[in-house]
Amino acid sequence: MSSIRIADLPLVRSRDPEAVAEAAARRARRPLLGARGRLLIVAADHPARGALAVGGRPLAMADRHDMLARLLTALEQPGVDGVLATADVLEDLLLLGALENRVVMGSMNRGGLAGAAFELDDRFTGMRPRDIARLGFDAGKLLLRIDRADAGSVATMETAARTIDRMAKRRLPVFVEPFLCRRRPGERPVSDLGAAAVMTSMAIASGLGGTSAYTWLKVPVTDDAQADPEAMERVLAATTLPTVLLGGDVRGDPDALYERWRSALRLPGVRGLVVGRSLLYPRDGDVAHAVRTAASLL
């Protein structure tokens, strides 16, 4: 770990902006997949999309110092491979020395602000492929939400495809998180987590770009898995691309969710978990325990 503390970050950033590039240049790196061939990535890219709520707490992720402390705790736990975040968070972690021998994934499109009229316009306002390469980070992630009733979705698809091309040109993996969405007038978009919709979104995402050689899929455990143990097996049969499961804001029984993750992780092609709020902001406040529980599933 660095001698810099969270409280020091504003002063370091104001006096020495080059410290970020210097920390990135000397960071010890590792392969995307280690010897066990599995990934546990902690996600913290929600704030850049204005999504600060966790459970019933609307501003749970607004305190950056608190979030960084939780990330440091998570990254210290055995079995954690890395972190997914936007540049500001990753650069804080670089300065804190928390990214040594970790997989670092840059979040790329955060323009679809939560609750905005333009929420489904997921523009690429975050890290670009050249930024990820310049800082020596290991992968990128993009969100792909498609509403068949919204003609703007095709522009999002095209931009995602060209971003996949640019990542592949640099031989950088890109994790695509696809959803089919619907939006009623005056309401927020809702993602369809039924098995058929998830499979369709995976098929669309798999075909984007001039090559899929560096494309991974980041998919949810479908709602149908609660009643049908074979639902995720059918879902994962929709692709030959490597896949990770995504977490979310756990509102129901966390033990039941963990069991669905455990079952899905046994399926061929599933290489790990990318989980954020449910690990960083567990109900009991014990970040270390939540992370160790997730690690045990792998």
Q: Is 66 within a domain? A: yes
β-pairing, 190-191 vs 174-182, is antiparallel
Q: Is 38 within a domain? A: yes
Task: Give the pLDDT band (50/70/90) at residue 45.
Answer: very high
Which pLDDT belongs to residue 254? 73
Average pLDDT, the chain: 94
In this prediction, residues 26-46 reach a mean pLDDT of 94
Which pLDDT belongs to residue 259? 84
Task: Give the pLDDT band (50/70/90) at residue 1.
Answer: low
Q: Is 1 within a domain? A: no
Q: What are phi and psi of 243, to 5 degrees?
A: -135, 145
Under a CB-based contact definition with an 8 Å cutoff, are residues 126 and 87 in contact? yes
Which residue range(s) make up the domain with 238? 6-296
Give residue-wise pLDDT tens across range 196-224. 999 999 999 999 999 999 999 999 998 88
Task: Give the pLDDT band (50/70/90) at residue 184.
Answer: confident
Domain count, the chain: 1
**Is pLDDT above 60 for 101?**
yes
Q: Is 198 within a domain? A: yes
Whose structure tokens read 């501003």?
Answer: 59
| 142: CATH | 3.20.20.70
Angstrom distances, CA of residue 220 to CA of 189, 212, 239, 273 = 16, 20, 14, 10
Give residue-wise pLDDT tens across range 212-264. 999 999 999 988 877 787 889 999 999 999 999 998 656 667 777 788 888 88
The residue type found at 76 is E
| Three-state SS letters, the chain | CCCCCHHHHHHHHHHCCCHHHHHHHHCCCCCCCCCCCCEEEEECCCHHHCCCCECCECCCCCCHHHHHHHHHHHHCCCCCCEEEECHHHHHHHHHCCCCCCCEEEEECCCCCCCCCCCCCCCCCCCCCHHHHHHCCCCEEEEEEEECCCCCCHHHHHHHHHHHHHHHHHCCCCEEEEEEEEECCCCCCCEECCCHHHHHHHHHHHHCCCCCCCCEEEEECCCHHHHCCCCHHHHHHCCCCCCEEEECCCCCCCHHHHHHHHHHHHCCCCEEEEEECHHHHCCCCCCHHHHHHHHHHCC
Which pLDDT belongs to residue 3? 81
Q: Is 32 within a domain? A: yes
Under a CB-based contact definition with an 8 Å cutoff, are residues 213 and 168 in contact? yes
